[in-house]
Structure 1
Amino acid sequence: MGLYLLDSNVFIQAHRMYYPFDVVPGFWQKLKELGKVGKILSIDKVKKEICDTGNPDQLSNWMASQLEESFFNESASCVDVYAQIAAWANANTHYYPSAIAEFLETDLADPWLIAYAKKNDCVIVTNESSQPDIKRKIKIPEPCVHFGVRFISPIQMFRELGETF
């Protein structure tokens, strides 16, 4: 089994809704530990989405101070696979043109996350669920299915890793 590759929403939703730092510090410690031993990782574009907003918050400060720089892998190494994903999105007549344009925005992590996972045999960890009928947004699961990339929820990841906290 490959490494677990975390989507931005794993951090954002945990911080804002499910596992705030002051209530569930064990969640954040577990992420730090799993990153340190190389079981989980993410990409530079995820860090950029969270940390380069111009308005630092508790989550961006935690990411900058608690996760090692090596946690966030360079996505540019996957430009060849990204090109395949972009071609798939542009040729797809199911989605509205605005959905395709949004999906392929330069700094959006989603297509790069999928490209990195495909190229490096990673499992994407995301809170997004498959919604193949919607036309207004390309969600991570749909291109994952097309490109044969496995995706799971954060809770599924912890179960597969045998982790509790």
Structure 2
Amino acid sequence: MSKVYLLDSNCLITAKNSFYPFDFAPSFWEHIKKWIVTFETKSKDQCSKKNPQKRAKIPDVAHDLGADCIGLYEMMRDLHFKL
């Protein structure tokens, strides 16, 4: 079984606003687009099994998917991401 990654959209928003603006680091965003197309993607709301009436919490969704809670940069290192 392949490794599962759960990526909170806030880490991408922070990356865009703080470190990798679209016009400054287009290659970063091209890699992100490739990941989204290449790997199976789901929204956290599709994954949470605990209580569908409540907003899903990231640790609960990660647990449901069998994913570790790691940060964006740790995931990028794990996937050998290079700009």
For the residues of structure 2 that align with 1:152 and 1:120, how far apart are their CA atoms? 13
Counterpart residue number, 1:49: none
* TM value normalised by structure 1: 0.42
Q: Deviations over 1:15-66 (max 9, x none)?
A: 1111000000111111111121117x45255xxxxxxxxxxxxxxxxxxxxx
Within 5 Å, which residues of 2 pair with 1:86-165? 106-107=54-55, 111=57, 113-122=58-67, 150-165=68-83
Q: Which amino acid aligns with 1:116?
A: V
For the residues of structure 2 that align with 1:44 and 1:158, how far apart are their CA atoms? 20
Contact 2:62 2:69 (8 Å CA) reproduced: no
Secondary structure of 1:34's match?
A: helix
Counterpart residue number, 1:31: 32
Identify if the C-alpha distance between structure 1 residues 118 and 44 changes in structure 2 by more than 3 Å, giving closer, same or farther.
Answer: closer
Contact 2:6 2:62 (8 Å CA) reproduced: yes
* TM value normalised by structure 2: 0.76
Q: Which amino acid aligns with 2:74?
A: Q
Secondary structure of 2:6's match?
A: strand
Contact 2:6 2:69 (8 Å CA) reproduced: no
For the residues of structure 1 that align with 2:44 and 2:71, how far apart are their CA atoms? 21
Q: Which has the higher contact order (CA 8 A, sep 6+)?
A: 2
User: Which structure shows the higher strand fraction?
Assistant: 1
What residue ranges of structure 1 are gaps of 5+ in the alignment?
46-73, 84-105, 123-149
For the residues of structure 1 that align with 2:20 and 2:42, how far apart are their CA atoms? 19
For the residues of structure 2 that align with 1:114 and 1:161, how far apart are their CA atoms? 21
Note the aligned Cα RMSD (angstroms): 2.4
For the residues of structure 1 that align with 2:6 and 2:42, how far apart are their CA atoms? 5
Contact 2:11 2:72 (8 Å CA) reproduced: yes
Q: Which amino acid aligns with 1:9?
A: N
Q: How many residues align?
A: 81
Identify if the C-alpha distance between structure 1 residues 42 and 24 changes in structure 2 by more than 3 Å, giving closer, same or farther.
Answer: farther
Contact 2:49 2:64 (8 Å CA) reproduced: no
What residue ranges of structure 2 are gaps of 5+ in the alignment?
none
